[in-house]
Amino acid sequence: MKHDYSYRERQQELDAARQFRLGDGKISGYCSVALGTLSLLAVLAYLYPAYLTTIELRQAYDAAFLQQFLKYGMYFSLFFGILSFVLNGYKRLGAAGIVLTLIAFALGGYTLPVGPVEPRRLSLGVDWLILAFLGSTIIFITLEKLFPKYRNQVVLRPEWGLDLLYFCFNHLAISAILIYGNYHASHFDWALSESVQQAIRSVPLLLQVMVIILCADFVLYWEHRLYHEVQLLWPIHAVHHSIEHLDWLAGSRGHFIQVFSERAMVMVPLYLLGADQAALDIYVAFAALQAILIHCNLGISFGPLKCILVTPQFHHWHHSSEKPAIDTNYSAHTVLFDRLFGTYHMPVKHWPADYGTTVRLPRSYIGQLLYPLTRHLRKK
Ligand SMILES: [Zn+2]
Ligand SMILES: [Zn+2]
């Protein structure tokens, strides 16, 4: 019956009150607060690196070099704060940004000594939060502004604050997620095979990456499908589907049980395959970028790539509340398993008109956190 469905265009009105406009101080105010907050967090991370930075990430960056970026961040926060006063708009935000930066200066600023760090497995990923926030906003907001699917959708769309909270939680909890993921994967020691691992390591790097992508996708496909099709699990995953405006930040929304279980499940094939570290690193970067990209408000067509990879249009259909799209497009990386298992839905000429769940979820963080429980109790 799917072919009988009549697709509609999404109606996206421009919300002028939420819009960023040049010259009214709003951009300056928000930039000042954002940079002031990040600067203060960075200074705290330099002061307490054992508690506020992650072992895995510290190996990948040069903390002394990043202080140069912190310096620019702090001065730009002050500059934008003052600019909001000059432009005479959003001065409270500008003032907040300036105060946050001054506190960061008072605590030592960008000149704190960088030394060896006492190794601790469990810590808060403040460094991961700062780097991911800066990287994501710069790359993806630029892409969304250059090639939007919905031109009228603004950066500060409804519920952006809620999704920012999810973004912060997911990044701060990174070391707990990794510890849990490794612990979970260690239960699969019985399936380790030296000959399989040797065979994987004997093939070229790119092929190793492709094998990892396919194996991870298979696991993620079934994990995702179970979340949709097992009644007890759906309320947990429904939190991710409660998003009604998709953009770079929207993909962060997810119940912590789902966030932890997804990482734990994907860790199993990565552990068993035993590919080269470089292949794993490429996969992790690819998966992280793709997970954000597919939620973006991005109208790029992707040409023939959309027949192979999960693209924004494909995953936007997964988030649609329209009948033909319900319980389709489970894959995370390639479209292969949806094609293979009969859950592929991609009317190439159309995008969804409606997003979200058919039953509306609570709109607060706590409400969504407790939703699997409240929904269960209500059903009794
Ligand atoms: Zn889903
Ligand atoms: Zn999604």
Does residue 299 share a domain with residue 197?
A: yes
**How far, in Å, from the CA of 201 to the mean position of ligand 1?**
33
Q: Is 1 a domain residue?
A: no
For 254-290, the pLDDT digits (tens) are: 999 999 999 999 999 999 999 999 999 999 999 999 9
Does residue 190 share a domain with residue 62?
A: no
Nearest listed ligand to the Cα of residue 252: 2
For 38-77, the pLDDT digits (tens) are: 999 999 999 999 999 999 899 899 999 999 999 999 999 9
* Helices and strands (H, E) in the chain, number of each type: 17, 0
Q: Is 261 a domain residue?
A: yes
Does residue 234 share a domain with residue 303?
A: yes
Please name the residues in contact with 190: beta carbons below 8 A apart, sequence gap of 6 or more: none
Residue with tokens 């909890």: 173
Does residue 244 share a domain with residue 369?
A: yes
**How far, in Å, from the CA of 265 to the mean position of ligand 2?**
17
- How many structural domains comprise the chain? 2
24 lies in which domain range? 15-123
| Average pLDDT value for the chain | 95
Reduce the DSSP state of residue 120 to 3 states and report it: coil
Q: Is 167 a domain residue?
A: no
Nearest listed ligand to the Cα of residue 249: 2
Does residue 195 share a domain with residue 110?
A: no
Per-residue confidence of the chain (380 residues) as pLDDT tens digits? Answer: 456 788 888 888 888 888 888 888 999 999 999 999 999 999 999 999 999 999 989 989 999 999 999 999 999 999 999 999 999 989 999 999 999 999 999 999 999 999 889 888 899 999 999 999 999 999 999 999 999 999 999 999 999 999 999 999 999 999 999 999 999 999 999 999 999 999 999 999 999 999 999 999 999 999 999 999 999 999 999 999 999 999 999 999 999 999 999 999 999 999 999 999 999 999 999 999 999 999 999 999 899 999 999 999 999 999 999 999 999 999 999 999 999 999 999 998 999 999 999 999 999 999 999 999 999 888 77
Does residue 66 share a domain with residue 193?
A: no
Does residue 329 share a domain with residue 192?
A: yes
Residues 287, 216 contacting (CB under 8 angstroms): yes
**How far, in Å, from the CA of 369 to the mean position of ligand 2?**
17
Does residue 336 share a domain with residue 228?
A: yes
Residue with tokens 């926030």: 133
Q: Is 156 a domain residue?
A: no
Nearest to 178 by CA among 314, 298, 67, 280: 280
Q: Is 335 a domain residue?
A: yes
Q: Is 273 a domain residue?
A: yes
**How far, in Å, from the CA of 106 to the mean position of ligand 1?**
46
Does residue 349 share a domain with residue 203?
A: yes
Residue with tokens 């992280």: 288
Q: Is 86 a domain residue?
A: yes
Q: Of 123, 147, 164, which marks where a domain is finished?
A: 123
Q: What is the dihedral of CA 279, 285, 286, 287, to 10 degrees?
A: 110
Does residue 352 share a domain with residue 264?
A: yes
pLDDT score, position 196: 95
Does residue 187 share a domain with residue 91?
A: no
Does residue 322 share a domain with residue 212?
A: yes
Nearest listed ligand to the Cα of residue 237: 1
The amino acid that residue 210 corresponds to is M
